[in-house]
Amino acid sequence: MPSRWEQVVVDAEDPAQLARWWGEALGYVIVNEEPGEVEIRRTPDERPGLLFVPVPEGRTGKNRLHLDLRPDDQATEVERLVGMGARPIDIGQGDVGWVVLADPEGNEFCVLSSPAPPG
C-alpha cells in the first residue's frame, strides 16, 4: 500500500506567526499548536496540512518546493494577499500567466490564473 501524504513541513523564523498568515491566506484552521510547531489544515480532519517548525537560520536562495494557488479571480486574490503582507517578486519567471509572491518570511508561491469557465 502506498504512503499517504500527511503534511508539508515549512521551516520558519516565527512558526506561529507564519502559520496564522497562511491560515488566513488559505482559509485553514489551526489544528495543533505546541511550543515550536503549529499545524494548519482546511478542516481538522482533512489532510494534508501545513506544519510550521522553527529553524535557527534564515532562508537562502530560491525555494526548492512551493505552493501554487488557483483562485477564482487572480487579480483580486493577489491584491488581497499583498494587503496581508505578501510581496510580488521576480525569480526570472518572465511574462507568464501566474504571479509570483513571497510570504512574510520570503517563501515564494504562485497565484495561478483564474480557471477557465466549464465547457
pLDDT digits (tens, 9 = 90+) for 77-91: 999 999 999 999 988
Residues 51 and 70 in one domain: no
Residues 51 and 73 in one domain: no
**Residue span of the structural domain in which 18 resides:** 1-55
- Residue 60 located in a structural domain: no
Residues 48 and 90 in one domain: no
Amino acid at 69: L
For residue 17, the SS3 value is helix
- Residue 77 located in a structural domain: yes
Tally the residues of the chain.
119
Residue 117 clears pLDDT 70, i.e. is over it: no
CA pair distance 37, 12, nearest whole angstrom: 9
What average pLDDT is seen over the chain?
A: 92
pLDDT digits (tens, 9 = 90+) for 43-59: 999 999 999 999 988 77
pLDDT digits (tens, 9 = 90+) for 5-32: 999 999 999 999 999 999 999 999 999 9
Domain count, the chain: 2
Over residues 54-82, mean pLDDT: 89
Residues 46 and 80 in one domain: no
- Residue 87 sits in a domain of what CATH number? 3.10.180.10
Alpha helices in the chain, H assignment, sequence order: 15-26, 74-83
